[in-house]
């Protein structure tokens, strides 16, 4: 995003807040019966780890990713689960 707008960096706190808002809104839409929702569960960290703060936590995110055919490496100690070989599925925006 920083590169697209020709800035040096973006604020990770603000970005995290807005991603959480989008995830919460998507879950509300899903609960309301909407078929097409924002696929927030596809947002992972740069090392492939899942987000504990998403609705339902990392386990719910892992379940949705598994439904799409991704393999998930289980949590190890305090480290959250990670998507295996996620770089093969990256999309250019």
Q: What whole-number distance in Å separates Cα of residue 14 and Cα of residue 61?
A: 21
Give the three-class secondary structure for 76.
strand
d(CA 30, CA 13) in angstroms, rounded, equals 26
Domain range summary for the chain, segments of one domain joined by +: 12-85
User: Is this structure's pTM higher than 0.75?
Assistant: yes
Burial of 32 (0-12, 13-18, 19+ CB in 10 A): exposed
Q: Is the pLDDT of residue 1 over 80?
A: no
Q: What is the pLDDT of residues 48-77, one digit of tens each?
A: 999 999 999 999 999 999 999 999 999 999
Least Cα distance to 52 among 88, 9, 23, 11 occurs for 23
Percent of the chain's residues with pLDDT above 70 = 99
């Amino acid at each position: 995003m920083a590169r697209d707008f020709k800035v040096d960096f973006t604020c990770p706190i603000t970005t995290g807040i807005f991603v959480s808002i989008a995830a919460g809104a998507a879950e509300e839409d899903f609960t309301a019966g909407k078929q097409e929702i924002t696929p927030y569960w596809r947002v992972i960290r740069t090392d492939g780890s899942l987000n504990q703060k998403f609705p339902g936590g990392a386990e719910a995110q892992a379940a949705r990713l598994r439904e799409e055919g991704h393999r998930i490496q289980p949590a190890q100690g305090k480290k959250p689960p990670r998507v295996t070989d996620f770089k093969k599925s990256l999309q250019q925006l």
